[in-house]
Amino acid sequence: MVLQNIEGVEGEPQVPCLFIFGDSLSDNGNNHLLRTSAKANYFPYGIDFPDSRPTGRFTNGLTSIDFITQFLGFDQLIPPFANTIADISRGVNYASGAAGIRNETGKHLGSDISLRLQLTNHRTTVSQISAGFNKSSEKVEQLLNKCLYYVNIGANDFLNNYFLPQYYSTSATLPLNMEGYVFDLACNPKWENLYDIGGRKFVLVGVGYIGSTPRALTTLKTNSSTDDINKAAFLFNANLRSQVDHFNKALPNASFIFINSTASKIDPSLGFKVLDSGCCQVGENGQCVANVRPCDNRKDFVFYDSFHPTQAANLITALSSYNASIPAYTYPMDISHLVRS
């Protein structure tokens, strides 16, 4: 599948391969075969995808990382890990809807692929790449040193864990207050493991305004509740930025950057007219009802369903991440500079 053209992007990709870790903001089909309600393999998801079909993406078209993939010069989207027959030479997408940093996150919806399992799946991929290089560890390491590792996960550890006490006991039984819980989340992933097998260029994406999603606004009855959720996002992002500083100092030749998803809000100044409700008709789980046509003015909406941005909003996010049109959005550099470093 050939992607839409982006002005100024042509020739060979800026990195040889791209590895994607995350949740439903990046999932492109890994949840298809799982026993879960967190899947988007039905219409109206994908209505604006290049060939107008549902692919497992929780939006009407392309995700933020799809756009970034294109900005990087790839002529095809990165395949999901679940597609075992795909060419993995340009990278793999491991993201899973409802997944979190904590293993139990999202499990009330069914199965998902937690970050820990995604990291395990990446080791499988590296083994397959190694076999293609006749098990030459030096050649594999040289390749992985140049690849980009993109990680966008953490929102579900709040929305589908900590702030759902009816399903999860983390807010009541863990010996942690919110600050401790957030610190544990930000420090939990063992990025040293990816570094040890060759990763050098990392993009860590912070949590956005999760208290301002249509779902949060309709299910939480007081402003203080939505403010508490957004406060958790701010705390998580501050800790994640600190982790970026730590790894850039502690790991030789490593380059970590942080995308501050709360640095700005997508609002009417960017051409959006509907900020607090989704474009499609949603069911009890906040996802689009199957086979019901969504709104026609999709470019006016920030959200497609009760959780996930529209393709139009995803494009804004991708542009800010790649080109740092908002300086506070990326630290200490944007993706375009990271891949050249």
Q: Is there a cis peptide before residue 332, judged by omega within 30 degrees of 0?
A: yes
> Which secondary-structure segment (H or E) carries 277?
strand 274-278
Confirm whether 305 is a catalytic residue.
yes
Tally of CB atoms within 10 A around 108: 16
Q: Is there a cis peptide before residue 294, judged by omega within 30 degrees of 0?
A: no
- The SS3 assignment for 53 reads coil
Under 8 Å between Cβ of 199 and 338 = no
Closest CA to 77 of 11, 18, 132: 18
Please identify which of the residues 305, 306, 320, 321 carries the catalytic annotation. Answer: 305
Confirm whether 108 is a catalytic residue.
no
Confirm whether 24 is a catalytic residue.
yes
Alpha-carbon gap, residue 314 to 61, rounded angstroms: 9
Tally of CB atoms within 10 A around 327: 10
* 202: β partners: 149, 256
Pairing between strand 255-259 and 148-152? unpaired
Please identify which of the residues 157, 308, 320, 321 carries the catalytic annotation. Answer: 308
Encoding tokens for residue 305? 């369903």
Q: What is the 3-state secondary structure (H, E, C) of 59-115?
A: CCCCCHHHHHHHHCCCCCCCCECCCCCCCCCCEEECCCCCCCCCCCCCHHHECCCCH
- The SS3 assignment for 190 reads coil
Under 8 Å between Cβ of 29 and 80 = yes
Please identify which of the residues 23, 24, 66, 306 carries the catalytic annotation. Answer: 24
Give the residue numbers marked as catalytic: 24, 305, 308
